[in-house]
């Protein structure tokens, strides 16, 4: 399937999905789906750098928070329309990713990982001390009373935005994967030195994929303040985003765009279930951590790895 | 003495005492990450585990937490050996350590933390010790024993590890692993075995550092996360794999934080360490004392 | 019909459906009355969440023993919010749309109350909340109620006692240092303190905040000491309360009065861990045994609570949150009984216009849903020996300084003398 066809199909599917779910009478579906879709975007975004290039980003929460807090800034400044907030947050996170990549991607991969962790803490401290966005006290971002497009409630709008954002992320991820760019990234992942020697502009490719990946993470955060109405640094920088956006691609499979999608839908739904069915919130992180360790040690190629293996066997 | 002079001297002393503790916390990372190239981001989880072990024994039997941690360090050593075995078989051997190995330790970090939460809850735990509430005073300068005792033991531990690494056959083998594994093999030493024991040593220091932590401040399972950045900051700042560098990097960081907090406003203290780390990575990735 | 027309129509249809369901509900009076909420049973605030849950369950047992409310047995439906605000919108929509509870109340604290507000407002539900800090100042929702006794201006009411006690000293203090953690509550408390500082014409010589995960607090205390303040007001959360109190003792802080807004010493864990280090510290409390004669029913409730708390390993004293969690449910009980139903508009109106007799005294609500009068108690600790928990169950280690009707003594100063 060519990229353009895929994009059309993905959008059509997203719109159909969003329209069909408007028939669901209970609102719980929308809040639960919002959370799962958040993870779909984060996991897909993380995989653009982590899966395709092999560089581990521990700072997903930081980029997510950049998106969220740029919304807070625009809300406080002039109640900008939602679309402006989404674009700004995406760009801001992309720029931050560009800066981080420029500073550290010349070093070994592990330094990038550590720096991304450090960035979370620096940004967290910065937000805590920045009174304009509420600082440590947190900021209120109120949902408008009037819901556009004749939708019954604001959560429906947020949900539709999330579906579209997820579609955009998947299209971006797949386009990169199938392009020359994607092959360059794969070369870096397999052997960076060899890639460099055979003329792949490794640094530029790495920086580009970092920027795209971070921008999408920021995008996932842009509607979050509206979803919660009240945002404070510790919920925006929650480590749950960092661990989930790593665990989901690893469990789903990192080689293609479909792996993170599967991982996110699976893990995201399991976490929702654990929370409301059994009221066992504390077990959530344990499950994610345990699955992560199990998969990396026993099934390094994730669920998609199994599927591929099974297909190959069947083909023989 | 002038009030401001006393303030400066106190800030230096507080920074040194804090830095000594930071050195103990980062020593293990200096070994595992700096020398063995094992990026153990779960290191802080083992520090917290050390805190809880010290807490349990102290709570039940009233023994001194630091003494307990030293006596029980073989347990952590054994845990470290087991962990390295798994890591070696699943990742190093397959050549997958860079990405999946990192994710593996990340998972270990979470499992340890959440298990502690499930067993002990999220309440802050504290220990009692004979020196916990004692302060020495020399004029306007004060030395809280709560920080002095961990400082002294920590410096002793760092010096001990350094002497061990430079003056024993095994220690030199560890240093050699960091440089040339093939040469080591040719000399009839198994580098995997050497790395296993050295990694175990790094986990053992984490256990002891955990006891320092709980002497200094109350501990609950998730505060380990705060130390992830710090330990790597110290390790990189001091220069990868240099034990003296780690000690000096930790003291520099301690003093920088203490000065920020005394004269500039404590809010910015955590950003100091990470700012230093980001700057080091950007401008001098080999650290202050790097090769 | 276009999509634009279909959707609102669908919404209206669902609305009628919901009303029909609600009517069917009242017709079947024997059905249990379901009250739903999210509570922090894991995460940083789990200790408080579990304590609140115990108190609410004691209330449920008490109320069911006397035959329920309006003849209906009370049932709880609750989920663990993990002290994570991001879970709250999901949990409350689940409670309302899937579990179809009759009423919802909040979990513990601002961070989990605020995310539920838009939902409550969209559906015009009466929302009784537990220890939110001035949440309604942004929403201005007329069906919001809050049980913590901070008064209609929470920040100001919260800090008033400290300044009342300080200004009663002779000679009057002139300078003050303000310090607190970088977190939501300390910032609010410091904001309130600044209002009093301005009103009283005090001079601020130090005004800084610190990150809650600070390892060593002594540089902060020394920096404060260098400014030689008459008063030191501290607003902090439990770990840094412990750290600051230790550092204050280590450095030997010389000032006339220290404390005011430390969260933590209200709970047995910090009371016993700090023990004599707390001597001389001035702090707020919501109940102390010194006042047992003013709250006749509390002793009995606390006995039940303490028995359960010991089993579940949560705060064994229960002076802070549990009585108020119980009182919150008492308010609901009385309002539902008086209005003979679950009509949210009627309930809210009744609650605004009546006072309620609860275990924590008479409660009336101001326009913004806060208590109509602040009633935070400012106390000074003294004469604490050793680290046992039992001394806190009796009188003798606490002096109530403010408010007037509860006063048992005046402040002892300077701080270093009050330590002995």
Q: Report the residue from A118, A290, A296 with minimal CB separation from B103.
A: A296
The pLDDT value given to residue C127 = 96
Query: By the 8 A CB rule, do C150 and C161 touch?
Result: no
Q: What is the pLDDT of residues B47-86, one digit of tens each?
A: 999 999 999 999 888 899 999 999 999 999 999 999 999 9
* Most confident of the following: A12-26, A137-151, A296-310, B16-30: B16-30
Question: Can you give the pLDDT at residue C4?
Answer: 47
Instruction: Tell me how close the Cα of A151 comes to any Cα of chain C, in angstroms.
Output: 6
Among A256, A187, A79, C250, CA closest to B131: C250
Q: Does B138 touch chain A (CB under 8 A)?
A: no
R_g (Cα) of chain B, nearest Å? 19
Structure tokens at B134: 């004692």
User: CATH number for the domain including B227?
Assistant: 1.10.3470
Q: In this predicted model, what pLDDT tens digit does every residue of A31-78 receive, in sequence order?
A: 889 999 999 999 999 999 988 888 888 889 999 999 999 999 999 888
Contact B281 A103 (CB under 8 A): yes
| Helix segments in chain A, DSSP class H | 3-21, 28-53, 60-78, 82-104, 109-128, 154-178, 180-190, 192-197, 202-221, 224-228, 233-236, 239-252, 258-277, 281-298, 302-315
The secondary structure of chain C in percent helix, strand, coil, rounded to multiples of 5, reads: 50, 20, 35
pLDDT for B288 equals 67
Query: Are B267 and C219 within 8 A, CB to CB?
Result: no
Q: Are B212 and B131 in contact (CB under 8 A)?
A: no
Asked if the C-beta of B124 comes within 8 angstroms of chain A's C-beta atoms, the answer is no
Distances (CA, A) of C274 to A218, B256, B278, C243: 44, 29, 38, 10
Q: Which chains touch B (3 or more CB pairs under 8 A)?
A: A, C
CATH 3.30.565.10 fits C154-294+376-418, yes or no: no
Q: Does B9 touch chain C (CB under 8 A)?
A: no
**Euclidean distance between CA atoms A281 and A302, whole angstroms:** 25
* Residue C326: pLDDT band with limits 50, 70, 90: very high
* CB environment C323-335: b (16+ within 10 A), e (fewer): bbbbbbbbbbbbb
pLDDT score recorded for residue B150: 93
Nearest to A163 by CA among A6, A15, A5: A15
Q: Are strands C231-236 and C175-181 parallel, antiparallel or unpaired?
A: parallel
Encoding tokens for residue A273? Answer: 């279930």
SS3 C45: coil
Q: Say yes or no to pLDDT of B2 above 60.
A: no
So where are chain C's domains? 1-29, 30-151+296-364, 154-294+376-418
Chain C environment of B11 (Cβ under 8 Å):
219, 222
Domains C30-151+296-364 and C154-294+376-418 in one fold: yes
* Whole-angstrom distance, CA of residue A78 vs CA of residue A76: 6
**In-domain check, residue B270:** yes
Q: Which CATH architecture has domain C30-151+296-364?
A: 3-Layer(aba) Sandwich (3.40)
Of C90, C139, C183, the CB nearest to A136: C183
* Structural domain range at position B45: 3-283
Any domain includes B288: no
Partner residue facing B103 (CB), from A246, A285, A286: A246
Cβ-Cβ contacts under 8 Å, B15 against chain C:
219
Asked if the structure places residue B33 within a domain, the reply is yes
The yes-or-no verdict on residue C13 having pLDDT over 80 is no
Give how many domains chain B has, as a whole number. 1
CA distance A182 to A208: 11
Contacts of C46 in chain B (CB under 8 A): 121-122
Is the pLDDT assigned to residue C25 strictly greater than 50?
no
Phi-psi region of C214 (alpha: psi -120 to 50; beta: other; left: phi over 0): beta
Interface with chain C: mutation pick from B119, B136, B269, B270, highest number of C CBs within 10 Å: B269
The pLDDT value recorded for residue A316 is: 61
Cβ proximity of B274 and A120 under 8 Å: no
**Per-residue pLDDT reduced to its tens digit, B136-183:** 888 778 888 889 999 999 999 999 999 998 898 888 888 888 777 777
Chosen for mutation from C250, C278, C309 (greatest number of chain B CBs closer than 10 Å) is C250
Q: Which residue of A has its CA nearest to C211?
A: A125
CA C188, C189, C191, C195 torsion-angle sign? positive
**Which of left, alpha, beta for C369 (phi over 0: left; psi -120 to 50: alpha)?**
left
- What is the band of C330 on the pLDDT scale with cuts at 50, 70, 90? very high
Describe the strand order of the beta sheet including C175-181 as a list of residue ranges: C203-210, C175-181, C231-236, C257-262, C282-285, C377-381, C398-402
Select the more confidently predicted residue: C1 or A233.
Answer: A233
The lowest-confidence range among A111-125, A247-261, B266-280, C322-336 is B266-280
A286 touches chain B (CB under 8 A): yes
Q: Which of B107, B228, B282 sits opposite A296 (nearest CB)?
A: B107
Hey, are the CB atoms on C3 and A19 less than 8 Å from each other? yes
Q: Is the dihedral of CA A297, A301, A307, A310 positive or negative?
A: negative
Write the residue in A27, A125, A142 that is nearest to C211 by C-beta.
A125
C380-399 core/surface letters (b: 16 or more CB in 10 A; e: else): bbbebeeeeeebbeeeebbb
Contact C211 B144 (CB under 8 A): no
Say what the pLDDT of residue C3 is: 45
pLDDT at C231 over 60: yes
Does the pLDDT of residue C27 top 60, yes or no? Answer: no
Determine the average pLDDT of the residues in C403-420.
88
CB contact under 8 A, A26 and C98: yes
């Amino acid at each position: 399937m060519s990229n353009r066809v895929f994009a059309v199909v993905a959008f059509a599917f997203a719109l159909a999905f969003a329209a069909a779910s408007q028939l669901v009478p209970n609102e719980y579906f929308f809040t639960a789906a919002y959370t799962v879709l958040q993870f779909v975007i984060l996991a897909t975004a993380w995989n653009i750098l982590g899966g395709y290039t092999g560089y581990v980003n521990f700072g997903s929460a930081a980029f997510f928070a950049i998106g969220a807090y740029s919304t807070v800034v625009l809300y406080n400044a002039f109640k900008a329309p939602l679309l402006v907030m989404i674009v700004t947050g995406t760009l801001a996170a992309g720029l931050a990713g560009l800066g981080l990549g420029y500073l550290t991607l010349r070093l070994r991969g592990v330094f990038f990982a550590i720096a991304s962790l450090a960035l979370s803490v620096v940004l967290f401290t910065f937000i805590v001390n920045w009174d304009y966005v509420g600082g440590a006290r947190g900021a209120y971002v109120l949902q408008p009373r009037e819901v556009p497009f004749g939708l019954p409630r604001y959560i429906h709008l947020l949900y539709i935005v999330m579906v579209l954002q997820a579609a955009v992320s998947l299209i971006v991820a797949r386009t990169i994967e199938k392009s020359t760019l994607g092959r360059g990234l794969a070369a870096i992942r397999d052997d960076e030195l060899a890639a460099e020697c055979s003329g792949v502009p490794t640094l530029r490719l790495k920086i580009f994929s970092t920027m795209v990946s971070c921008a999408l993470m920021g995008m996932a955060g842009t509607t979050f303040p509206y979803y919660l109405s009240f945002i404070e640094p510790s919920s925006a920088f929650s480590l749950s985003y960092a661990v989930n956006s790593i665990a989901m691609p690893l469990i789903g499979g990192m080689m293609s765009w479909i792996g993170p999608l599967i991982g996110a839908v699976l893990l995201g739904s399991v976490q929702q279930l654990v929370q409301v069915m059994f009221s066992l919130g504390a077990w959530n992180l344990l499950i994610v951590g345990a699955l992560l360790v199990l998969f990396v040690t026993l099934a390094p190629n994730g669920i998609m790895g199994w599927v591929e293996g099974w297909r190959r066997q069947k083909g023989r | 003495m002038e009030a401001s002079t006393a303030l400066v001297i106190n800030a230096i002393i507080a920074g040194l005492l804090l830095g000594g503790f930071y050195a103990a916390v980062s020593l293990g990372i200096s070994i595992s990450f700096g020398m063995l190239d094992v990026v153990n981001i779960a290191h802080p989880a083992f520090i917290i585990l050390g805190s809880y072990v010290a807490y349990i024994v102290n709570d039940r039997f009233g023994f001194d937490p630091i003494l307990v941690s030293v006596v029980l360090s073989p347990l952590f050593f054994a845990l470290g050996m087991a962990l390295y075995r798994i890591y070696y078989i699943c990742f190093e051997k397959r050549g997958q350590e860079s990405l999946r190995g990192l994710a593996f330790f990340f998972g270990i970090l979470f499992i340890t933390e959440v298990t502690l939460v499930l067993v002990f809850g999220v309440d802050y735990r504290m220990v009692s010790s004979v020196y916990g509430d004692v302060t020495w005073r020399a004029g306007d300068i004060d030395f809280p024993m709560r920080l002095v005792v961990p400082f002294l033991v920590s410096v002793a531990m760092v010096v001990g590890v350094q002497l061990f690494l430079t003056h024993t056959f095994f220690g030199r083998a560890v240093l050699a692993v960091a440089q040339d594994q093939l040469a080591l093999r040719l000399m009839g030493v198994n580098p995997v075995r050497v790395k296993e024991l050295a990694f175990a040593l790094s986990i053992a220091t984490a256990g002891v550092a955990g006891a320092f932590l709980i002497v200094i401040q109350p501990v609950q399972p998730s505060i380990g996360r705060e130390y992830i950045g710090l330990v790597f900051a110290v390790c990189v700042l001091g220069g990868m794999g240099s034990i003296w560098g780690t000690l000096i990097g930790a003291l520099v960081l301690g003093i920088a934080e203490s000065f920020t907090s005394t004269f500039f406003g404590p809010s910015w203290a955590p950003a100091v360490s990470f700012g230093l780390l980001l700057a080091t990575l950007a401008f001098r990735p080999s650290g202050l004392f790097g090769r | 019909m276009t999509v634009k027309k279909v959707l609102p129509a669908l919404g209206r249809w669902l609305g009628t459906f919901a009303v029909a369901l609600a009517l069917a509900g009242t017709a079947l009076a024997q059905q249990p009355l379901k009250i739903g909420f999210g509570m922090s049973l894991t995460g940083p605030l789990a200790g408080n969440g579990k304590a609140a849950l115990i108190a609410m369950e004691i209330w449920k047992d008490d109320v069911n023993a006397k035959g329920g409310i309006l003849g209906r047995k009370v049932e709880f439906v609750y989920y663990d919010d993990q002290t994570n605000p991001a879970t709250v919108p999901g949990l409350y929509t689940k409670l309302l749309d899937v579990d179809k509870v009759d009423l919802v109340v909040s979990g513990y604290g601002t961070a989990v109350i605020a995310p539920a507000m838009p939902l409550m407002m969209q559906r015009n539900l009466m929302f009784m909340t537990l220890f939110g800090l001035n949440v309604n100042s942004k929403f201005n929702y007329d069906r919001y109620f809050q049980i913590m006794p901070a008064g209609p201006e929470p920040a100001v009411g919260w800090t008033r006692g400290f300044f009342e006690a300080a200004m009663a000293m002779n000679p009057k203090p002139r300078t003050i240092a303000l310090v607190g953690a970088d977190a939501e509550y300390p910032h609010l408390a410091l904001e309130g303190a600044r209002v009093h500082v301005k009103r009283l014409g005090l001079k601020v010589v130090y005004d800084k905040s610190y990150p809650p995960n600070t390892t060593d607090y002594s540089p902060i205390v020394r920096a404060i000491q260098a400014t030689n303040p008459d008063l030191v007001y501290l607003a902090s959360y439990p770990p840094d309360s412990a750290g600051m109190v230790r550092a204050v003792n280590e450095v030997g802080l010389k000032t006339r009065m220290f404390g005011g807004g430390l969260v933590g010493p209200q709970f047995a864990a910090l009371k016993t861990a700090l023990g004599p280090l707390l001597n001389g510290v001035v702090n707020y409390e919501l109940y102390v045994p010194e006042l047992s004669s003013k709250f006749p029913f509390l002793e009995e409730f606390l006995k039940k609570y303490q028995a359960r708390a010991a089993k579940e390993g949560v705060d064994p004293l229960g002076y802070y949150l549990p009585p108020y969690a119980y009182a919150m449910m008492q308010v609901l009980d009385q309002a539902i009984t008086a209005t003979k139903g679950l009509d949210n508009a009627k309930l809210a109106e009744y609650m605004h216009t009546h006072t309620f007799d609860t275990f924590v005294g008479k409660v009336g609500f101001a326009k913004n849903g806060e208590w109509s009068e602040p009633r935070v108690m400012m106390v000074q600790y003294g004469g604490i020996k050793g680290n046992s928990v039992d001394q806190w169950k009796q009188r003798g280690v606490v002096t109530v300084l403010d408010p007037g009707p509860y006063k048992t003594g005046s402040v002892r100063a300077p701080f270093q003398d009050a330590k002995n």
